[in-house]
Structure 1
Amino acid sequence: MSQPSIDQQLLWDVETARAYDTPGEGMFAPEVIGPTVAALADLAEGGPAVELAVGTGRVAIPLVEAGVPVVGVELSHAMIARLREKIDDERLPVVQGDMTTTRVGEGFALVYLVFNTISNLLTQDEQVACVRNAARHLRPGGRFVVELWVPQLRALPAGHGATVEVSEPGYLLVDTYDALRQLVVSHHVGFDPDLGGGREARITRSPHRYAWPSELDLMARLAGLELEHRWADWDRSTFTADSRSHVSVYRLP
């Protein structure tokens, strides 16, 4: 069975880039951004960093403001344009390209991927290539950091292929699973929570390939990296069998 072909420029278009930033809320909330930036700054240990798939600069901009030099890699024209509305190229250089192959130099203290970004690569080969590309940027002792969700296959009802991940007024997130290919499609449903507000809803979908923590560890080993830490979140809490996500820190010997 062939893997799906996704045009990333269409997936991450102008409309998506405009809607991506939610200042002060969601993944832009201070309680989310603060621990993320603090952990990454500590891991960089004063050295320069690379963010793969930098997007609109959600993490890179506050990390730069915290004193860590960052270079971004980003494929989407629209996401780069949105980032440039907030910060100039001198303070945050960005190279347009694919995170599996694009090189921006070497000798970096830190390379990182946040908010499930590696799952945007829809094959195992692409994910392995991404990890290897990250490792090539690092100096000895440098770190590669990945934030990724833990697949909730245990939550799948018998005979069903979907889970409801978020249910709140005006928004539903439903994930449908193809367990044979480790593919998930996230269905984001927005609607007026007032029943008198009409019957229309807006649906957007995004495809992902999930990888188990152990699979990610093997990818890292193939790239010459060693697991240093695994946390349940950026607050560095303990990762357990019940954790819904993880932050994994790998180090180049």
Structure 2
Amino acid sequence: MTDDEIWDTRAAQAYDTPGTGMFAPEVLGPTVDRLVELASGGSALELAVGTGRVAVPLAERGVPVTGIELSQPMLDRLRTKVDENTVPVVLGDMATTRVPGEFTLVYLVFNTISNLLTQAEQVACFRNAARHLAPGGCFVVELWVPELRRLPPGQQAMVWESTPSYVGLDTYDVLHQHVVSHHFRFDPDSGREATLFRSPHRYIWPAELDLMAQLAGLTLASRHADWTGTPFTADSRSHVSVYRTEDPAPKV
């Protein structure tokens, strides 16, 4: 599967779920609140801005937001919400694409760094984020914790969610740290005509993520289990990690 095949027009149209899922106020509200705080009155760059789930409300809160996005259909969907002046976007790869300016905040939300399928690409993404940061700025990554403890020995697949209208299934390649997420959606009344959306990922352990940051000249400043600041523990299923550049040397 290529990126164009995954993030096509149909995926872009199905991505937005106003008021529910990723767009639920209890999910999106704390995300935007924390990013406003981390922007510290400066501007922000969202890597893989998508349809603007986070960028649009962040801009509405007064934070100037620029985006990088690989998928033209996702960008087209964003443009139905805001224009180029409100959220300017450069079409390109989040690991290599440069945009003009310097930012106090660069961020990657909802597991998006795992869409890069090699360690080298993920390291390049950290370096690209660091190149865009002003001194003292921060790079924020929201990512799930690999759930290999739940994977029975000898099995490659795990159901992680099941409802009357949806089944989420992951298949693992533990040798290469790859996982393919399968999203089955269907009419709960008829039980037929299911739709399937699949996306490949390379999962990353928190310690590996910290080493990627170190290679890019960034230092872990904080890690919590969610955007509200819940402590991160061995049982946390996800984390929000904040990495910072060094502050300018004090003048003497």
Name the stretch that deviates more: 65-74 or 101-110: 101-110
Alpha-carbon shift at residue 204 of structure 1 (Å): 1.6
CA distance in 2, matches of 1:224, 1:29: 35
User: What pairs with 1:98-137 in structure 2 (closer than 5 Å)?
Assistant: 98-137=93-132
Amino acid in structure 2 at the alignment position of 1:15: R
Amino acid in structure 2 at the alignment position of 1:39: R
Please point out which of 28, 38, 61 is paired with 2:56.
61
Q: Do residues 205 (structure 1) and 198 (structure 2) align?
A: yes
Counterpart position of 1:238 = 231
Alpha-carbon shift at residue 72 of structure 1 (Å): 0.4
Amino acid in structure 2 at the alignment position of 1:204: F
Alpha-carbon shift at residue 169 of structure 1 (Å): 1.4
Gaps of 5+ in 2: 247-252
CA distance in 2, matches of 1:36, 1:68: 14
User: Aligned with 1:159: secondary structure?
Assistant: coil
Contact 1:106 1:139 in 2 (8 A): no
Contact 2:6 2:198 in 1 (8 A): no
Please point out which of 7, 10, 16 is paired with 1:12.
7
Contact 1:106 1:136 in 2 (8 A): no
Alpha-carbon shift at residue 9 of structure 1 (Å): 1.5
Which TM-score applies when normalising by structure 2?
0.96
Gaps of 5+ in 1: 1-5
Amino acid in structure 1 at the alignment position of 2:47: L
Amino acid in structure 1 at the alignment position of 2:92: G
Contact 1:232 1:240 in 2 (8 A): yes
Per-residue CA deviation, residues 9-63 of structure 1 (Å, 9 max, x unaligned), is 2210111100100000000000011000000000010000000000000000000
Amino acid in structure 2 at the alignment position of 1:167: S
User: Aligned with 1:140: secondary structure?
Assistant: strand
Moved over 4 A (4+): none
Please point out which of 199, 208, 214 is paired with 2:207.
214
Per-residue CA deviation, residues 47-92 of structure 1 (Å, 9 max, x unaligned), is 0000000000000000000110000000101000000000000011
Counterpart position of 1:168 = 163
Counterpart position of 2:77 = 82
Counterpart position of 1:151 = 146
CA distance in 2, matches of 1:198, 1:54: 34
Contact 1:190 1:203 in 2 (8 A): yes
Q: Number of aligned pairs?
A: 246
